Amino acid sequence: MSAGRVLVLGGTAEARRLAAALVAASVPVTSSLAGRVSRPRLPAGEVRIGGFGGPDGLARWLREQLVVAIVESTPPFAERISASALAASAHAGVPLLRLQRPGWSERRGDRWEWVDDLDQAAAAVARLGSRVLLTTGRQGLAAFAGVQQAWFLIRCVEPPDPPLPSRHSVLLDRGPYTVEGELALIDGHRIDLVVTKDSGGAHTQAKLDAARLRDLPVIVVRRPPRPDAPTVGTPREALEWALGRSLAGAVPQACTTYPSP
């Protein structure tokens, strides 16, 4: 019997950890990446880059590839793929589990202001700081283009597209980061405000620890609502679920009958 194939909708560190564990367990796995980063960190196993053509295209691909389970572990702000994956799961009759890292929680000494979107974050900048570490990614930076009162250090993995704030510098970098490194960045650029999304996880949490140590305000964009789906918070839980679905959907190995000599 051959274990059934698992599709991991990835793009996160958790997705890479899950893919590696599935490969180690001899489970066929395909990881799907959106393709927004030119040099992504590739997971173990088969990798597919690019979209499927909406829910119908994804459902068709699931049937063609005999996929028995989907684990959606996309970044917390990729709400479109969440809706598409859930619809495709229903259309193709393939069970789906969401692997979603927990969001960040405030600690003693934090000075956070929560907002619902990037437009609200941009509106709050003028009254909270004048030299901003902007770490919301390269998507949606147009929301800050009209902010004239502040200078922005825009940190992202890929060069951002305009429009951008008139006063800014771009720092191309990729986590994980350290508290010491973030403190040096804050001090070196005289940062007095941090703007981020509630991405969660340890890879980029150091900026929050550094902001706390420097008593800096932080604007945090809340996660958008996502369609209801069974959800776990760790790769280990997702692995147990995926193994169960994969073995339940095992495909008999083809047998070849040879004529007697």
Closest CA to 3 of 250, 240, 243: 250
pLDDT at res. 1 = 57
- Residue-level pLDDT at 39: 77
pLDDT the model gives residue 250: 64
Q: How many CB atoms lie within 10 A of CB 179?
A: 15
How far apart, in whole angstroms, are the C-alpha atoms of residue 239 and residue 244? Answer: 9
| 219 alpha carbon, distance to own chain's centre | 19
Q: What is residue 11's predicted lDDT score, i.e. its pLDDT?
A: 83
Segments in 39-158 forming alpha helices (H): 54-64, 79-92, 118-128
Vertex 53 angle, CA 50 and 58, to 5°: 90
- pTM score of the predicted model: 0.88
| Predicted pLDDT of residue 248 | 83
How confident is the model at residue 78, as a pLDDT? 85
Please give the Cα distance from 199 to 141 (Å, whole number): 16
Domains and CATH numbers, the chain: 5-102+224-248 (3.40.50.720), 111-221 (3.40.50.720)
Residue 202 contacts residue 14 (beta carbons within 8 Å): no
The whole-number pLDDT of residue 84 equals 94
Contact 39, 46 (CB under 8 A): no
Report pLDDT for 33: 93
Helix (H) or strand (E) segment spanning residue 159: none
Beta strands 111-115 and 217-221, pairing class: parallel
Task: Determine the pLDDT at residue 257.
Answer: 34
Would you write out the chain's pLDDT as a tens digit for each of its 261 residues?
578 999 999 889 999 999 999 999 999 999 999 877 767 889 999 999 988 999 999 999 999 999 999 999 999 988 889 999 999 999 999 999 999 999 999 999 999 999 999 999 999 998 999 999 999 999 899 999 999 999 999 999 999 999 999 999 999 999 899 999 999 999 999 999 999 999 998 889 999 999 999 999 999 999 999 889 999 999 999 999 999 999 886 655 443 333 333
Question: Tokens representing 27?
Answer: 């489970």
First to last CA, the chain: 28
